[in-house]
């Protein structure tokens, strides 16, 4: 059975669920989930969790992300990116230095109003479903954190690439829209490439073509404990291992308080565990049952 993580360099035109469906077919495993949706126009890092590894998705989805986004000034669309309908075109009298100066208020903790073209639900309906019917509803601002925001380069008279490091829940196209509004000329996103997500980067990613052409696709899977590589290791002897497998807390007087990757004597990854006061409890188990 396939178990592990594969970091896909998602191509443009695919939804994140399209990628998961393809991986289900290739690996013959129905348990497949991803950490962090990418819109169809976006490319880049999409961590996909397979088999028992899907139990780690809830942890991976919480992490920060990094993007390289294309900002086009002077254009406002209904989707806040170039896939939508143009609502306004305005002259642009902004140079790189003016843009860089305008970024300062968008760093740190900010509030974003989610776009209408998003999967957020209102009264059981996704906002994009309402938007496609020409409806617009009030959305509450949401807190997000922008850890880093810088101009990478200017790629055209009114086009720039921005590097964005941000928290979960950030809409980069909304960030581009809001920057354009702050500059007075409007703006939208014309490209998006995710370079980091869930602790994984582009240099760990494989293309869908590489996956589809691999003689042994399972060999491309990273072990699930790779996601928890930042935690220290705790190895249990046979007796305590049996208790952990049965969901029972065990005594580990030698271990300091904190989270651990928990292994059995054979080297099998058992669980993500929490030690408190010399007692180990399971946060999430990963052994096959």
Residues with catalytic roles: 39
CB atoms within 10 A of CB 37: 13
Strands 86-89 and 32-34: unpaired
Other CB atoms within a 10 A radius of the CB of residue 152 amount to: 12
Q: Are 201 and 129 in contact (CB under 8 A)?
A: no
β-strand pairing of 258-263 with 233-235: parallel
| Distance (Å, whole) CA 243 – CA 248 | 5
Show the tokens assigned to 110: 């900010």
Closest CA to 74 of 158, 163, 1, 189: 158
The pair of three-digit structure tokens given for residue 220, joined into one six-digit string:
């491309």
Q: What is the DSSP string of 218-281?
A: GGGPBPGGGGGTTSPEEE--HHHHHHHHTT--EE-TTSPSEEEEEE-TT--EEEEEEEETTEEE
């Amino acid at each position: 059975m396939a178990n592990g993580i594969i970091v896909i360099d998602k191509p443009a035109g695919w939804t994140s669920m399209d990628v998961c469906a393809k991986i289900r077919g290739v690996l013959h495993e129905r348990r497949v989930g991803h950490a962090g949706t990418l819109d169809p126009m976006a490319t880049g890092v999409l961590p996909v969790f397979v088999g028992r590894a899907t139990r780690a998705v809830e942890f991976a989805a919480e992490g920060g992300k990094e993007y390289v986004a294309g900002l086009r000034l002077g254009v406002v669309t209904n989707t806040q990116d170039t896939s939508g309908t143009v609502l306004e075109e305005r002259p642009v009298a902004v140079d790189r230095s003016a843009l860089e100066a305008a970024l300062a208020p968008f760093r740190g903790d900010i509030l974003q109003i989610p776009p209408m073209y998003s999967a957020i639900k209102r009264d059981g309906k996704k906002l994009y479903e309402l938007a496609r019917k020409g409806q617009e509803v009030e959305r509450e601002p949401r807190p997000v954190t922008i850890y880093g925001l810088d101009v990478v380069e200017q790629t055209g008279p009114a086009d720039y690439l921005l590097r964005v490091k941000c928290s979960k829940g950030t809409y980069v196209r909304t960030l581009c829209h809001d920057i354009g509004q702050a500059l007075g000329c409007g703006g939208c996103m014309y490209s998006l490439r995710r370079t980091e997500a869930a602790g994984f980067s582009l240099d760990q990613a494989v293309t869908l073509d590489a996956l589809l052409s691999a003689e042994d696709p399972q060999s491309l899977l990273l072990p699930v404990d790779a996601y928890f590589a930042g935690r220290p290791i705790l190895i249990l002897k046979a007796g305590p291992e049996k208790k952990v497998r049965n969901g029972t807390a065990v005594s580990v007087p030698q271990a300091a308080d904190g989270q651990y990757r928990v292994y059995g004597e054979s080297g099998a990854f058992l669980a993500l565990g929490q030690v408190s006061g010399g007692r180990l409890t399971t946060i999430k188990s990963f052994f096959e049952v």
